[in-house]
Structure 1
Amino acid sequence: MKYLDQLVTKVKADSLRMECLKAVRDLQLHDSWVAAGFIRNFIWDQLSGNEIPPVNSDIDVIYFDPGDTRQRSEQEFENFLQSNHTNCSDTLGSWSVKNQARMHHVNRDRPYQNCEDAITHWPETVTEIAIRLNSKDDLEVLAPFGLDDLYNKTVQPSPHFKQHKLFEYKVRQDKKRWIDRWPNLKISV
Protein backbone atom coordinates (compact mmCIF):
# COMPACT_ATOMS: atom_id res chain seq x y z
CA MET A 1 0.00 0.00 0.00
CA LYS A 2 1.27 3.37 -1.04
CA TYR A 3 0.87 5.17 2.31
CA LEU A 4 1.49 2.28 4.71
CA ASP A 5 5.00 3.33 5.75
CA GLN A 6 3.85 6.90 6.40
CA LEU A 7 1.00 5.71 8.60
CA VAL A 8 3.18 3.32 10.60
CA THR A 9 5.88 5.98 11.08
CA LYS A 10 3.36 8.60 12.28
CA VAL A 11 1.68 6.22 14.73
CA LYS A 12 5.00 4.92 16.10
CA ALA A 13 6.08 8.51 16.74
CA ASP A 14 2.93 9.26 18.74
CA SER A 15 3.49 8.03 22.29
CA LEU A 16 -0.17 8.37 23.25
CA ARG A 17 -1.43 6.23 20.38
CA MET A 18 1.26 3.67 21.09
CA GLU A 19 0.12 3.59 24.73
CA CYS A 20 -3.44 2.92 23.59
CA LEU A 21 -2.32 0.17 21.23
CA LYS A 22 -0.29 -1.50 24.01
CA ALA A 23 -3.31 -1.38 26.31
CA VAL A 24 -5.46 -3.15 23.72
CA ARG A 25 -2.77 -5.71 22.95
CA ASP A 26 -2.43 -6.50 26.65
CA LEU A 27 -6.13 -7.41 26.82
CA GLN A 28 -5.27 -10.37 24.57
CA LEU A 29 -8.60 -10.30 22.77
CA HIS A 30 -8.87 -12.48 19.68
CA ASP A 31 -8.38 -10.59 16.40
CA SER A 32 -8.33 -7.22 18.17
CA TRP A 33 -7.66 -3.84 16.58
CA VAL A 34 -8.08 -0.12 17.21
CA ALA A 35 -10.00 1.38 14.33
CA ALA A 36 -11.95 4.15 12.66
CA GLY A 37 -11.43 7.67 14.03
CA PHE A 38 -8.37 6.63 16.02
CA ILE A 39 -6.55 6.49 12.69
CA ARG A 40 -8.73 8.64 10.43
CA ASN A 41 -8.86 11.70 12.69
CA PHE A 42 -5.17 11.42 13.59
CA ILE A 43 -4.02 11.41 9.98
CA TRP A 44 -6.44 14.13 8.91
CA ASP A 45 -5.22 16.31 11.79
CA GLN A 46 -1.63 15.67 10.73
CA LEU A 47 -2.38 16.52 7.10
CA SER A 48 -4.35 19.63 8.07
CA GLY A 49 -1.80 20.93 10.55
CA ASN A 50 -4.18 20.65 13.51
CA GLU A 51 -1.81 20.49 16.48
CA ILE A 52 -4.20 19.86 19.35
CA PRO A 53 -7.37 18.14 18.17
CA PRO A 54 -10.47 18.51 20.30
CA VAL A 55 -11.68 15.53 22.29
CA ASN A 56 -14.85 14.62 20.48
CA SER A 57 -14.55 11.03 19.55
CA ASP A 58 -13.84 7.68 21.05
CA ILE A 59 -11.21 5.00 20.86
CA ASP A 60 -12.84 2.25 18.82
CA VAL A 61 -11.58 -1.19 19.83
CA ILE A 62 -12.84 -4.13 17.82
CA TYR A 63 -12.29 -7.84 18.29
CA PHE A 64 -13.84 -11.08 17.10
CA ASP A 65 -14.98 -13.70 19.59
CA PRO A 66 -17.98 -15.81 18.51
CA GLY A 67 -17.71 -17.79 21.77
CA ASP A 68 -18.75 -14.80 23.92
CA THR A 69 -21.04 -12.29 22.25
CA ARG A 70 -22.42 -10.79 25.46
CA GLN A 71 -22.49 -7.01 25.55
CA ARG A 72 -21.61 -7.31 29.22
CA SER A 73 -18.17 -8.63 28.24
CA GLU A 74 -17.60 -5.64 25.98
CA GLN A 75 -18.62 -3.33 28.82
CA GLU A 76 -16.16 -5.03 31.19
CA PHE A 77 -13.33 -4.44 28.71
CA GLU A 78 -14.40 -0.81 28.28
CA ASN A 79 -14.52 -0.29 32.03
CA PHE A 80 -11.09 -1.83 32.46
CA LEU A 81 -9.57 0.38 29.77
CA GLN A 82 -11.37 3.47 31.06
CA SER A 83 -10.12 2.86 34.61
CA ASN A 84 -6.58 1.79 33.80
CA HIS A 85 -5.75 3.89 30.76
CA THR A 86 -7.14 7.31 31.56
CA ASN A 87 -4.31 9.09 29.77
CA CYS A 88 -5.72 7.74 26.49
CA SER A 89 -9.35 8.46 27.25
CA ASP A 90 -8.70 11.91 28.75
CA THR A 91 -7.06 12.99 25.51
CA LEU A 92 -8.68 10.94 22.76
CA GLY A 93 -12.17 10.22 24.09
CA SER A 94 -13.84 7.32 25.82
CA TRP A 95 -13.05 3.71 25.04
CA SER A 96 -15.59 1.85 22.93
CA VAL A 97 -15.18 -1.92 22.67
CA LYS A 98 -17.27 -3.97 20.24
CA ASN A 99 -17.16 -7.67 19.46
CA GLN A 100 -17.63 -7.87 15.71
CA ALA A 101 -18.97 -11.41 16.06
CA ARG A 102 -22.27 -9.87 17.20
CA MET A 103 -22.32 -6.56 15.36
CA HIS A 104 -23.93 -7.98 12.22
CA HIS A 105 -27.18 -8.09 14.25
CA VAL A 106 -26.90 -4.41 15.10
CA ASN A 107 -25.99 -3.47 11.53
CA ARG A 108 -28.55 -5.73 9.85
CA ASP A 109 -25.93 -7.60 7.83
CA ARG A 110 -25.01 -11.22 7.28
CA PRO A 111 -22.69 -12.67 9.98
CA TYR A 112 -19.14 -11.42 9.75
CA GLN A 113 -16.26 -13.89 9.46
CA ASN A 114 -13.62 -11.82 11.29
CA CYS A 115 -12.70 -8.19 11.92
CA GLU A 116 -11.48 -7.58 8.39
CA ASP A 117 -14.81 -8.77 7.01
CA ALA A 118 -16.68 -6.68 9.58
CA ILE A 119 -14.97 -3.40 8.75
CA THR A 120 -15.79 -3.80 5.05
CA HIS A 121 -19.38 -3.23 6.17
CA TRP A 122 -18.62 0.16 7.74
CA PRO A 123 -19.86 3.39 6.12
CA GLU A 124 -16.76 4.99 4.57
CA THR A 125 -13.50 3.69 3.14
CA VAL A 126 -11.63 6.18 5.38
CA THR A 127 -13.28 4.62 8.44
CA GLU A 128 -12.50 1.06 7.35
CA ILE A 129 -8.96 1.20 8.71
CA ALA A 130 -7.63 -0.54 11.80
CA ILE A 131 -4.25 -0.93 13.46
CA ARG A 132 -2.75 -3.09 16.16
CA LEU A 133 0.48 -3.72 17.96
CA ASN A 134 1.58 -7.34 17.77
CA SER A 135 3.58 -9.31 20.32
CA LYS A 136 6.85 -8.28 18.60
CA ASP A 137 5.96 -4.58 18.96
CA ASP A 138 5.36 -4.25 15.23
CA LEU A 139 2.35 -2.37 13.92
CA GLU A 140 -0.07 -4.20 11.67
CA VAL A 141 -2.56 -2.30 9.54
CA LEU A 142 -5.87 -3.54 8.23
CA ALA A 143 -7.16 -1.43 5.34
CA PRO A 144 -9.25 -3.52 2.92
CA PHE A 145 -9.70 -0.57 0.54
CA GLY A 146 -6.25 0.89 0.99
CA LEU A 147 -5.14 4.22 2.41
CA ASP A 148 -5.44 6.46 -0.65
CA ASP A 149 -8.78 7.98 0.37
CA LEU A 150 -7.45 8.69 3.86
CA TYR A 151 -4.34 10.50 2.61
CA ASN A 152 -6.19 12.25 -0.20
CA LYS A 153 -8.83 13.42 2.32
CA THR A 154 -11.58 11.88 0.23
CA VAL A 155 -14.71 10.61 1.94
CA GLN A 156 -16.77 8.18 -0.05
CA PRO A 157 -19.15 5.38 0.82
CA SER A 158 -17.74 1.91 1.20
CA PRO A 159 -18.86 -0.52 -1.50
CA HIS A 160 -21.28 -2.12 0.97
CA PHE A 161 -22.90 1.19 1.91
CA LYS A 162 -22.92 2.38 -1.69
CA GLN A 163 -24.85 -0.73 -2.67
CA HIS A 164 -27.13 -1.24 0.35
CA LYS A 165 -27.22 1.78 2.66
CA LEU A 166 -26.53 4.94 0.71
CA PHE A 167 -29.22 6.93 2.53
CA GLU A 168 -27.67 6.00 5.90
CA TYR A 169 -24.28 7.12 4.59
CA LYS A 170 -25.72 10.51 3.59
CA VAL A 171 -27.37 10.98 6.98
CA ARG A 172 -24.11 10.08 8.72
CA GLN A 173 -22.16 12.66 6.71
CA ASP A 174 -24.63 15.36 7.76
CA LYS A 175 -24.32 14.38 11.42
CA LYS A 176 -20.53 14.03 11.50
CA ARG A 177 -19.86 17.55 10.18
CA TRP A 178 -16.27 16.58 9.42
CA ILE A 179 -15.99 19.49 7.02
CA ASP A 180 -16.12 21.87 10.02
CA ARG A 181 -12.92 20.39 11.46
CA TRP A 182 -11.21 19.53 8.17
CA PRO A 183 -12.48 22.07 5.61
CA ASN A 184 -10.43 20.67 2.74
CA LEU A 185 -12.10 17.24 2.75
CA LYS A 186 -13.70 16.01 -0.44
CA ILE A 187 -16.98 14.37 0.54
CA SER A 188 -18.76 12.40 -2.15
CA VAL A 189 -22.27 11.08 -1.98
Structure 2
Amino acid sequence: MSLEAQLETILRRSEPLMHVLEVVRDLDLPDPLLFAGAIYQRVINDLTGRPLDAGIKDYDVAYFDASDVSYEAEDVVIRRAAAAFEPPLREMVEVRNQARVHLWFESHFGETYAPVSSSAEAVSRFMSPLHAVAVRLEAEDRMTIVAPFGLEDLFSLTMRPNPSRPNRNYPAVSIKAKARWPELTVLEG
Protein backbone atom coordinates (compact mmCIF):
# COMPACT_ATOMS: atom_id res chain seq x y z
CA MET A 1 0.00 0.00 0.00
CA SER A 2 1.38 3.43 -0.93
CA LEU A 3 2.04 6.05 1.73
CA GLU A 4 -0.76 8.15 0.24
CA ALA A 5 -3.19 5.24 0.62
CA GLN A 6 -1.98 4.65 4.19
CA LEU A 7 -2.50 8.33 5.01
CA GLU A 8 -6.01 8.29 3.60
CA THR A 9 -6.87 5.10 5.50
CA ILE A 10 -5.71 6.63 8.79
CA LEU A 11 -7.53 9.92 8.23
CA ARG A 12 -10.80 8.28 7.17
CA ARG A 13 -10.91 6.44 10.52
CA SER A 14 -11.27 9.77 12.36
CA GLU A 15 -14.93 10.73 12.54
CA PRO A 16 -14.32 14.34 13.66
CA LEU A 17 -11.71 14.89 10.95
CA MET A 18 -13.98 13.53 8.24
CA HIS A 19 -16.81 15.74 9.48
CA VAL A 20 -14.56 18.81 9.25
CA LEU A 21 -13.47 17.83 5.73
CA GLU A 22 -17.09 17.34 4.64
CA VAL A 23 -18.20 20.71 6.04
CA VAL A 24 -15.21 22.49 4.49
CA ARG A 25 -16.01 20.87 1.14
CA ASP A 26 -19.62 22.02 1.42
CA LEU A 27 -18.53 25.59 2.23
CA ASP A 28 -17.11 25.71 -1.31
CA LEU A 29 -14.13 27.89 -0.37
CA PRO A 30 -11.58 28.72 -3.07
CA ASP A 31 -8.57 26.37 -2.96
CA PRO A 32 -9.37 24.82 0.45
CA LEU A 33 -7.01 22.56 2.38
CA LEU A 34 -7.00 21.15 5.88
CA PHE A 35 -3.47 20.99 7.19
CA ALA A 36 -1.04 21.00 10.10
CA GLY A 37 -1.64 19.06 13.31
CA ALA A 38 -5.09 17.82 12.37
CA ILE A 39 -3.33 15.71 9.74
CA TYR A 40 0.20 14.87 10.87
CA GLN A 41 -0.66 14.38 14.56
CA ARG A 42 -3.20 11.69 13.69
CA VAL A 43 -0.64 9.81 11.64
CA ILE A 44 1.96 10.00 14.42
CA ASN A 45 -0.65 8.94 16.97
CA ASP A 46 -1.61 5.96 14.84
CA LEU A 47 1.97 4.89 14.15
CA THR A 48 2.88 5.11 17.84
CA GLY A 49 -0.18 3.29 19.17
CA ARG A 50 -1.93 6.31 20.65
CA PRO A 51 -5.64 7.04 20.18
CA LEU A 52 -6.09 8.57 16.73
CA ASP A 53 -7.66 11.82 17.93
CA ALA A 54 -5.49 12.28 21.05
CA GLY A 55 -4.20 15.80 21.57
CA ILE A 56 -5.91 17.38 18.56
CA LYS A 57 -6.37 21.02 19.55
CA ASP A 58 -7.54 22.57 16.31
CA TYR A 59 -8.27 22.19 12.64
CA ASP A 60 -6.34 24.60 10.42
CA VAL A 61 -8.40 25.31 7.32
CA ALA A 62 -6.69 27.19 4.53
CA TYR A 63 -8.22 28.80 1.51
CA PHE A 64 -6.77 31.11 -1.10
CA ASP A 65 -8.56 34.22 -2.33
CA ALA A 66 -6.31 36.99 -3.66
CA SER A 67 -9.27 39.08 -4.83
CA ASP A 68 -9.61 40.70 -1.39
CA VAL A 69 -6.85 40.31 1.20
CA SER A 70 -8.48 42.53 3.80
CA TYR A 71 -9.09 41.20 7.28
CA GLU A 72 -12.75 42.12 6.85
CA ALA A 73 -13.14 39.78 3.87
CA GLU A 74 -11.36 36.98 5.71
CA ASP A 75 -13.53 37.56 8.77
CA VAL A 76 -16.68 37.03 6.68
CA VAL A 77 -15.33 33.60 5.71
CA ILE A 78 -14.27 32.84 9.30
CA ARG A 79 -17.78 33.64 10.56
CA ARG A 80 -19.42 31.65 7.78
CA ALA A 81 -17.27 28.64 8.60
CA ALA A 82 -17.93 28.97 12.33
CA ALA A 83 -21.67 28.99 11.68
CA ALA A 84 -21.34 25.70 9.80
CA PHE A 85 -19.99 23.83 12.84
CA GLU A 86 -21.50 22.90 16.19
CA PRO A 87 -19.46 23.09 19.41
CA PRO A 88 -16.85 21.88 20.18
CA LEU A 89 -15.67 21.90 16.54
CA ARG A 90 -16.86 25.48 16.10
CA GLU A 91 -14.17 26.61 18.54
CA MET A 92 -11.54 24.29 17.07
CA VAL A 93 -11.75 25.22 13.38
CA GLU A 94 -9.40 28.05 12.41
CA VAL A 95 -9.85 29.42 8.90
CA ARG A 96 -7.20 31.58 7.23
CA ASN A 97 -6.85 33.09 3.78
CA GLN A 98 -3.37 32.10 2.64
CA ALA A 99 -3.35 35.08 0.25
CA ARG A 100 -2.99 37.39 3.26
CA VAL A 101 -0.67 35.45 5.60
CA HIS A 102 2.32 37.51 4.46
CA LEU A 103 0.60 40.58 5.96
CA TRP A 104 0.79 39.31 9.56
CA PHE A 105 3.21 36.38 9.69
CA GLU A 106 6.37 38.29 10.57
CA SER A 107 4.79 40.21 13.44
CA HIS A 108 3.31 36.99 14.81
CA PHE A 109 6.22 34.55 14.27
CA GLY A 110 9.25 36.80 13.84
CA GLU A 111 10.13 35.46 10.39
CA THR A 112 9.64 37.04 6.99
CA TYR A 113 7.06 35.41 4.76
CA ALA A 114 6.75 36.19 1.08
CA PRO A 115 3.28 36.04 -0.49
CA VAL A 116 2.13 32.66 -1.82
CA SER A 117 0.10 31.89 -4.92
CA SER A 118 -1.96 28.98 -3.55
CA SER A 119 -2.83 27.04 -0.43
CA ALA A 120 -0.51 24.25 -1.60
CA GLU A 121 2.40 26.69 -1.78
CA ALA A 122 1.70 27.62 1.84
CA VAL A 123 2.12 23.95 2.79
CA SER A 124 5.62 24.02 1.28
CA ARG A 125 6.54 26.71 3.81
CA PHE A 126 5.81 24.64 6.92
CA MET A 127 8.58 24.29 9.47
CA SER A 128 9.30 20.63 8.73
CA PRO A 129 8.50 18.21 5.91
CA LEU A 130 6.83 16.08 8.59
CA HIS A 131 4.31 18.92 9.08
CA ALA A 132 3.89 19.71 5.38
CA VAL A 133 0.85 17.57 4.66
CA ALA A 134 -2.61 18.77 3.71
CA VAL A 135 -5.81 17.22 2.40
CA ARG A 136 -9.04 18.20 0.75
CA LEU A 137 -12.20 16.16 0.31
CA GLU A 138 -13.51 16.47 -3.22
CA ALA A 139 -17.16 16.41 -4.30
CA GLU A 140 -17.13 12.67 -4.99
CA ASP A 141 -15.47 11.95 -1.59
CA ARG A 142 -12.07 11.47 -3.21
CA MET A 143 -9.30 12.76 -0.98
CA THR A 144 -6.68 15.04 -2.51
CA ILE A 145 -3.34 14.94 -0.69
CA VAL A 146 -0.80 17.75 -0.86
CA ALA A 147 2.65 16.78 0.43
CA PRO A 148 5.33 18.86 -1.31
CA PHE A 149 8.17 16.96 0.41
CA GLY A 150 6.48 13.56 0.19
CA LEU A 151 5.25 11.47 3.10
CA GLU A 152 8.42 9.56 3.92
CA ASP A 153 9.42 11.73 6.90
CA LEU A 154 5.94 11.51 8.39
CA PHE A 155 5.72 7.74 8.09
CA SER A 156 9.31 7.22 9.30
CA LEU A 157 8.61 9.56 12.27
CA THR A 158 11.47 11.82 11.23
CA MET A 159 11.42 15.54 11.92
CA ARG A 160 13.87 17.75 10.07
CA PRO A 161 13.82 21.45 9.27
CA ASN A 162 12.33 22.63 6.00
CA PRO A 163 15.40 23.39 3.87
CA SER A 164 13.63 26.16 1.95
CA ARG A 165 12.84 28.53 4.81
CA PRO A 166 14.48 30.05 7.85
CA ASN A 167 13.88 27.93 10.90
CA ARG A 168 14.53 30.18 13.85
CA ASN A 169 11.72 28.50 15.80
CA TYR A 170 12.57 24.94 14.74
CA PRO A 171 14.63 24.04 17.86
CA ALA A 172 11.80 24.94 20.26
CA VAL A 173 9.16 23.23 18.13
CA SER A 174 11.24 20.08 17.72
CA ILE A 175 11.87 19.84 21.48
CA LYS A 176 8.13 20.03 22.15
CA ALA A 177 7.41 17.42 19.47
CA LYS A 178 10.03 15.03 20.87
CA ALA A 179 8.61 15.45 24.38
CA ARG A 180 5.13 14.60 23.08
CA TRP A 181 6.25 11.73 20.86
CA PRO A 182 9.56 10.27 22.13
CA GLU A 183 9.47 7.89 19.15
CA LEU A 184 10.32 10.77 16.78
CA THR A 185 13.78 11.06 15.31
CA VAL A 186 14.59 14.77 15.39
CA LEU A 187 17.30 16.04 13.05
CA GLU A 188 19.01 19.39 13.46
CA GLY A 189 19.15 21.96 10.70
**TM-score, normalized by length of structure 1?**
0.85
Partner amino acid for 2:168?
F
Say yes or no: does 1:103 pair with 2:101.
yes
Residue 86 to residue 54, structure 1, CA distance change in 2 (3 Å): farther
Q: 2:80 and 2:114 mapped to 1: Cα distance? A: 30
Q: Deviations over 1:48-71 (max 9, x none)?
A: 111265445210000110012222
Question: Which is richer in helix?
Answer: 1
Residues 121-136 of structure 1 mapped to structure 2, 5 A cutoff:
121-136=125-140
Q: Please list every run of at least 4 consecutive aligned residues from structure 1 whose deviation after the TM superposition is greater than 3 angstroms.
A: 52-56, 72-84
Note closer, same or farther for the CA distance 1:52–1:33 as it changes in structure 2 (3 Å cut): closer
Name the stretch that deviates more: 53-62 or 79-88: 79-88
Cα contact 2:10–2:42 (8 A) shared by 1? no
Contact (CA 8 Å) 2:78, 2:96: kept in 1 or not? Answer: no
Query: Distance in 2 between the 1:148 and 1:87 partners?
Result: 35
Give the direction of change, closer, same or farther, for the CA distance of 1:137–1:88 in structure 2 (3 Å limit). farther
Alpha-carbon offset, residue 42 of structure 1: 0.5
CA contact (8 A) 2:38 2:59 kept: yes
**C-alpha separation between the residues in 1 aligned to 2:168 and 2:95?**
26
Aligned pair in 2 of structure 1 residues 87, 10: CA closer, same or farther (>3 Å)? farther
Q: Of 136, 155, 158, which residue of structure 1 is paired with 2:162?
A: 158
Residues 1:186 and 2:185 are matched in the alignment: yes
Cα deviation 1:95-154 (Å, max 9, x = unaligned): 111111111233322221111112111211111110010111110000000001111111
SS at match of 1:166: coil
What RMSD in Å do the two structures reach over aligned CA positions? Answer: 2.2
* Structure of greater relative contact order (alpha carbons < 8 Å, 6+ residues apart): 1
- What is the letter of the counterpart of residue 103 of structure 1? V
Match of 1:33 in 2: 33
Q: Which residue of 1 aligns with 2:172?
A: 171
Match of 1:21 in 2: 21
The more displaced of 54-63 and 19-28 is 54-63
TM-score by length of 2: 0.85
Q: What SS does the corresponding residue of 2:173 show, helix, strand or coil?
A: helix
Task: Give unmatched runs, 5+ long, in structure 2.
Answer: 106-111
Report the equivalent of 1:145: 149
Q: Deviations over 1:141-184 (max 9, x none)?
A: 000000011111111111223xxx1322223334xx12232111
Secondary structure of the corresponding residue to residue 60 of structure 1: strand
- Cα offset, 1:47, TM superposition: 0.7
Q: How many residues align?
A: 182
- Structure 1 residue aligned with 2:121, among 96, 117, 120? 117
Partner SS state of residue 17, structure 2: helix
1:81–1:147: structure 2 CA closer, same or farther, 3 Å change rule? same
